Structures are given as C-alpha cells and as structure tokens.
Structure 1
C-alpha cells in the first residue's frame, strides 16, 4: 500500500514533518509512506496553470495519482488550515474533472503546541475534500496537542501514548484505504 504524506509546513523543524516521519516509522506492515515536500509548489494562479503545471506541482500530482492514499499532517495557524496546505489542495483539485485527489482516500492528522491540537485546521481541510471528491477518514482523529513536549530535539516522537495512538490511527487508515482499492 503506497501512501503519500504531506506536511502543511515549510519549516525544516516542523512538528508536522516530524509526525510524518514517525508515521513512516510506525506504519503497519505493507504500508509505505513517501513524504512529499511542498517547498516547490508555488501559490496557485490560474494564469500559471493555463501555461502548464509548474514542475513542483506536476511532481506532487504524479505522486498523488500513483498512491493508494494520502496522509495529510496539518498545522493550525490562526484557528485554521495553513496557506501552504490549502494551496497544495487547490493545485491538486485542478482541473476539477481530473483532480489528482478525486476518489482518493485521505487521512488528516496534526501536531501543535496548542491545547486543542489542530482541530480547527483539520475541520477546514475536511471541507475542502468535499469539493475534490476525496474520501476523508472520519475516525479516529489524531490531534497531537502540546506537541513540543512529545518530540525530542531531533524531531523524534518520544511520547509513548502518542506513538501507540499513531500506530492505531495508521492501522485504521490502512483499513480505510483498502475499502477504496
């Protein structure tokens, strides 16, 4: 089972990138998670799209199309989904009739220093998947709150309870993806 993981942060030390690395480490047998960086994806612009997808966008779309599912690790900025993540979804939704996200099973998780994790950002991201006709896993949710206390200085997930829950989350996602294969 091939899964593409995307972090909605461009920071090298992003907690959500670290969460994706932990997911890759804890993935159930048979699941491979390839992490795709969004640094090469420019801001969506219809004029740019009309001239052809930029290289970073084309690579992202190709990776999503070749995957069995998509794992989104989103931060939450100002009570919402960050622009980097929303921008990626905007590019992936184009063209609407041939969206790379169309019919794809998706899971959303997120890590934040805040007490509510990334609940609001995840909620907004779920709404975008209605338009893309993606199958967003409804449960379980993974909201890693006080994440700065759960990763070490090298970005390794050290909190055992969170590691166990992430493992169960990924097992549920594997079952979710199987429903659509």
Structure 2
C-alpha cells in the first residue's frame, strides 16, 4: 500500500441484497488499484433518525457510520431513485451523518454521486436531491461529470454490473475524485 493511496467509502442507497447500486459499487471496488481502495458501508443497520437519542452516546451503527466517513478520504454514493427522489434510507443515513448540527462528517469531504435506475433517465432527479443535501452538509460534491446509469437492469449480468463503456466512464470520473483528494492533501 502506498502512502498516497486514497481510501474511498462506498455507500449504496439501497437495502436490497440484489441491489444494482451494490453491484455498481462492487464493480468499482473490483477495479481498485494501488491508487485507491473502496470500503463498502452497509446502511442497513442505521436506525431511523431521532434527535432525542442523538444527544446521548451514539448507537453503535451511528458511531460506525460517522467513524467510517471521518476515516476515509472521499465518499462514493451509488443510489437508485424512488418516486422521482432520493431513497428514504439514504436520506436517513445522511441525516445521521450530518449531526450534531455544524459537525457534519461530510464537511469538506469530496463526494462522487452516481445514480442508477431502470428508467432511461438513470435517476437524474435523485442525483440533484442527493447533491443538494450533501452540499448543505458541507460536502465537496464532484459537480461534473454527472454519472447517471439509465436502463441499469440491462447492464446487470448474473447479479453483477456488466457494461464496459459505463464502467470506463465511472473509472475516468473516479480518477478526477482521486485527483481532487490528492490536490487537497497538498
């Protein structure tokens, strides 16, 4: 492992075992090189946000979430779109990560948002909502290029993401995220 290796945290905005978002994250992790690593974080154990319990010692899943975000160099979020918006489970996770107020674990954290949908629009509406929420938390969301994967179910083979042109586009964009992390280290 090199000193300059960039540690990415991968968050899939879905709880499904056979989630296409998880398949995209697995593909990104499979392409890890000496330049970067990807550590997935399963949001399935994150409880519904409740401000009353947030002021107590954090629950273990919340402490794990906050520590994972604080301990990485950048975050890659791959999310689906439900009813023209961000999945509730992802919004809930971001709410926990943003607390306590003004102590968001995302402050100055580079983030790449990828959306995927069976629709040809690729979850573009959710992409905007996720980016807006992250920016309100102080994250440095990679603005361009936006990655939206339309007709995603046609790009899944035996449960794995299988679309070389989209994969190449994602990896090229990931290089920009890694470069942003390295520039921030200087």
TM-score by length of 1: 0.95
Measure the CA separation in 2 of the matches of 1:81 and 1:178: 29
Q: Aligned residue pairs: how many? A: 180
Alignment of 1:32-181 (within 5 A): 32-153=37-158, 155-181=159-185
CA distance in 1, matches of 2:89, 2:184: 27
Q: Deviations over 1:56-88 (max 9, x none)?
A: 111011011010001111110000000111111
1:141 positional shift: 1.3
Structure 2, unmatched stretches of 5+, are: 1-5
Mapped contact 1:38–1:88 kept (Cα < 8 A): yes
Task: Give a deviation string over 1:28-61, Cα, whole Å, max 9, x none.
Answer: 5411010000011001000111222211111011
Structure 1 unaligned blocks of 5 or more: none
Shift, 1:11, TM fit? 0.3
CA deviation profile, 1:121-159 (whole Å, cap 9, x unmatched)? 010011112221110000111111111010112x22221
Tell me, in whole angstroms, the C-alpha distance in 2 between the residues paired with 1:134 and 1:28.
25
How far the C-alpha of 1:114 sits from its partner, in A, is 0.8
For residue 162 of structure 2, give the secondary structure of its aligned residue in structure 1: coil
> What do you get for the CA RMSD once the two structures are aligned?
1.2
Kindly indicate whether the alpha-carbon contact (under 8 Å) linking 2:24 and 2:161 is maintained by their aligned counterparts in 1: yes
CA offset at residue 96 of structure 1? 2.2
Contact in 2 for aligned 1:110/1:117 (Cα 8 Å): yes
Between the aligned partners of 2:86 and 2:59, the Cα distance in structure 1 is 23
More displaced 10-residue stretch of structure 1: 97-106 or 79-88: 97-106
Q: What is the TM-score of this pair, normalised by structure 2?
A: 0.92
